[in-house]
Amino acid sequence: MPMTDDTVSPKRAASAGQGRTASPAGSVDTDDVAVQSVATTFRILDELAAAGRPLRLTEIATALDETKAKVHRHLATLRQLGVIEQDGGTERYRLGWKLVQLGESVAEQFNLREIAAPHLTAIRDETRETALLAVPIGWETQVVSVADNIHARVFISIKPGNRPLPHAAAQGRVVLAFSPPEMVDRALSRELVRLTPYTLTDKVLLRERLALVRERMWDTADSEIIEGVNTLSVPILREGDEIAGVFSIVGLSRNVPSEADPHQLEVLHRHARLLSESLSGTAYQARGPRLDDPPSRRRGRPRIAD
């Protein structure tokens, strides 16, 4: 039988009662092959998720630096399982509904939305802006809960499920700032789309910005996605400084300034710290504002009524 890129030499059978036997020199351990196969599967899913659009087989194989034959075998299996779908007309692949079901199950088990709900409502009422909860999906973020601004006749809102470009969104940069270096490298290795004249796309400046975000524990993205709209975001941390989610407020740039408003930042940091401490997150204890500090007075331009 001809060798393909997935063909491996069989592992020597272990003797009865002797447990696992080392593979002969030059052969491939089937356990290692299984691990590599799982890793390739997740790389494919990561690529489809990061692209934000259906991809052709060639695009996926090129991005993963794998042969089309190998990637096609993984895609065929994933399609049979309902994890991905293929458009019959364009033959492009996209993430399948099965992942939505799995994601909902994970959310129910961890249920950050439920424990964050009272904080989200309080953030909205204390800042009088729309409040958001987002969670990391690889190097991206997805909005999972929104408390719309009920204090204004006209307000900015974002639908749950929204996944903004990570380099252009305050939520995305907060997640990247607390992500492993290899994940940051992968996120910044792709083309960074400029959505407005203000979108930050310079990769050197982005890395400097991520270091600053990790130090100060907040970020804004004024007019980077939509001109005249800004988001102020802070991290929710667990088990030390592992990113669990992001609290944000979103509004008109005149009401959510690019230089964080002290009152808005104090509100976000206070609630993020309380939630982080309940998840064993300790970074706020070392670097964040103390809860017994007096609330900062709002300064700068007054909020303009909508």
Q: Is the pLDDT of residue 13 over 80?
A: no
What CATH number has the domain bearing residue 209?
3.30.450.40
So what's the pLDDT on residue 186?
87
Residues 97, 114, single domain; the answer is no
Q: In terms of residue numbers, what domain contains 59? A: 36-101
Q: Is the pLDDT of residue 265 over 90?
A: yes
Q: Per the structure, how many domains does the chain have?
A: 2
* Residue 8 belongs to a domain: no
* Residue 14 belongs to a domain: no
- Domain boundary, last residue among 48, 76, 101: 101
- Do the Cβ atoms of 139 and 166 come closer than 8 Å? yes
Higher pLDDT, 235 or 33: 235
Torsion from C-alpha of 298, 235, 195, 165, nearest 10 degrees: -160
Confidence class for position 289, pLDDT limits 50, 70, 90 = very low
Residues 147, 50, single domain; the answer is no
Q: Is the pLDDT of residue 148 over 60?
A: yes
Residues 86, 148, single domain; the answer is no
- Domain boundary, last residue among 76, 101, 126: 101
Pairwise CA distance, residues 53 & 125, whole Å: 36
* Residue 3 belongs to a domain: no
- The whole-chain average pLDDT of the chain stands at 83
- Domain boundary, last residue among 101, 123, 158: 101
DSSP-derived secondary structure letter, 280: B
Pairwise CA distance, residues 252 & 230, whole Å: 6
Residues 96, 117, single domain; the answer is no
Higher pLDDT, 70 or 285: 70
Pairwise CA distance, residues 167 & 72, whole Å: 30
Residues 118, 222, single domain; the answer is yes
- In this structure, of 9-23, 120-134, 136-150, 281-295, the range with the lowest mean pLDDT score is 9-23
Listing DSSP states for 223-270 in one string gives TSSSTTEEEEEEEEEETBTEEEEEEEEEEETTTS-SS--HHHHHHHHH
Q: What is the pTM of this model?
A: 0.64
Confidence class for position 104, pLDDT limits 50, 70, 90 = low
Residues 116, 77, single domain; the answer is no
Residues 91, 187, single domain; the answer is no
Q: Is the pLDDT of residue 254 over 50?
A: yes
Residues 218, 97, single domain; the answer is no
Residues 204, 236, single domain; the answer is yes
Confidence class for position 106, pLDDT limits 50, 70, 90 = low
Amino acid at 30: T
Over residues 188-239, the pLDDT tens digits come to 988 999 999 999 999 999 999 999 999 999 999 999 999 999 999 999 999 8
Q: Which of 77, 80, 45, 79 is nearest to 63 (CA)?
A: 45
* Residue 250 belongs to a domain: yes
So what's the pLDDT on residue 5?
36
Residues 92, 134, single domain; the answer is no
* Residue 51 belongs to a domain: yes
**Candidate ranges 12-16, 67-71, 282-286; pick with highest mean pLDDT:** 67-71
Residues 58, 119, single domain; the answer is no
Residues 168, 232, single domain; the answer is yes
Q: Is the pLDDT of residue 1 over 80?
A: no
